[in-house]
Amino acid sequence: MTEAGYNPRAMMAIFGKMTRQRWFQGTEIPVYLQTHPEMDNRIVNISHLIATHNMNDRTSHESPAFTYFKLRLRALCNSPNPVMRDLKQRLAKDPNNVPLLYCVGLVHQRLGQRLEAIAAYQAALAQDSHNKMIKRDLATLYYESNKTAAAQALLEELLRSNPRDEVALYYLGRINQDRRHWDEALSLFEKVHALNPTFTEVYYNLGTIYGEKKNLGPAHYYLGLHSRLAKDLSTALFHFRKALSYLGPNEQYYQQVQQEVARLEKMRVRVR
């Protein structure tokens, strides 16, 4: 735990809580019959280890990633107005604190205040110009705010440092799709799908672009996948059946589509 950056005394605190909230009542189970060591013995052993290794005075330092994680979770899940008040109070004492500036941007974005969110992200990025998480969120906000050129510049910068950044690939694909650059968009979306098959948003984009290119077998296949993952099983079955009508037995996706149709029909899904 010490090598991983955790304070080992925290384990003693956890076992103390477990001791106070026993999952079984009474003491009729002998220690030697229990599947795990008895809590009090664990606490004594850990205390002894800490003393033996002279860890009493060691303090743990929270990793930067965990600091961002906690603040991001709070900004996205708690009531936004109280969170904003607290963030601004803390920033008044520490105006260049990058995680706080970033989370102010997140809360502004939740409140629909895009210009304020952009300003907060830019301020955070000015203090930490290599922060990929802030760049990614700022790029997607630029895209959603119709600031396409600014979004593209940041997305391409992210991809230069990490060509496998699936979010950057996806939004760059969206930009090309909006410009009707079908081949460029399709290539980017296929990369996203290859990197992360659980990136479900990309199925709709793939289906739409294949449709624009008049390649209707794959178009209906991907639209069917998108509908199934959205739990719209009736629409999914419609698209999978359509895909079968356009695909030949030796073509890509044919077997997958057959399996999807058979599974949905077995579930007695009906097309409306």
Positive or negative torsion for Cα 71, 73, 76, 82: negative
113-143 pLDDT, tens digit each: 999 999 999 999 999 999 999 999 999 999 9
What burial letters (b/e) apply to 18-31, b meaning 16+ CB within 10 Å?
A: eeeeeeeeeeeeee
Q: In the prediction, which pLDDT does 191 show? A: 97
Which DSSP letter does residue 214 get?
A: T
pTM (whole model) above 0.85: no
Q: What is the mean pLDDT of the chain?
A: 89
Q: Would you kindly state where each structural domain of the chain is located, as residue ranges?
A: 9-52, 200-272
Average pLDDT over residues 257-265: 95
68-115 pLDDT, tens digit each: 888 899 999 999 999 999 999 999 999 999 999 999 999 999 999 999
Average pLDDT over residues 172-198: 96
C-alpha dist (Å) from residue 205 to 69, 130, 223, 230: 29, 30, 9, 14
* Closest-CA residue to 133 (of 64, 201, 74): 64
Angle formed at CA 199 by CA 146 and CA 259, multiple of 5 degrees: 130
Region of residue 88 (left: phi > 0; alpha: psi -120 to 50; beta: else): alpha
Angle formed at CA 172 by CA 222 and CA 168, multiple of 5 degrees: 95
Contact assessment for residue 124 and residue 105, using Cβ atoms and an 8 Å cutoff: yes
Q: In the prediction, which pLDDT does 87 show? A: 94
Evaluate if residue 267 carries a pLDDT over 90.
Answer: yes
Average pLDDT over residues 187-194: 96
Q: Residue 201 in 3-state DSSP? A: helix
H-helix or E-strand spanning residue 227: helix 216-229
Task: Give the lowest-confidence range in 16-20, 47-51, 88-92.
Answer: 16-20
Q: What's the CA gap between 87 and 106, in Å, rounded?
A: 11
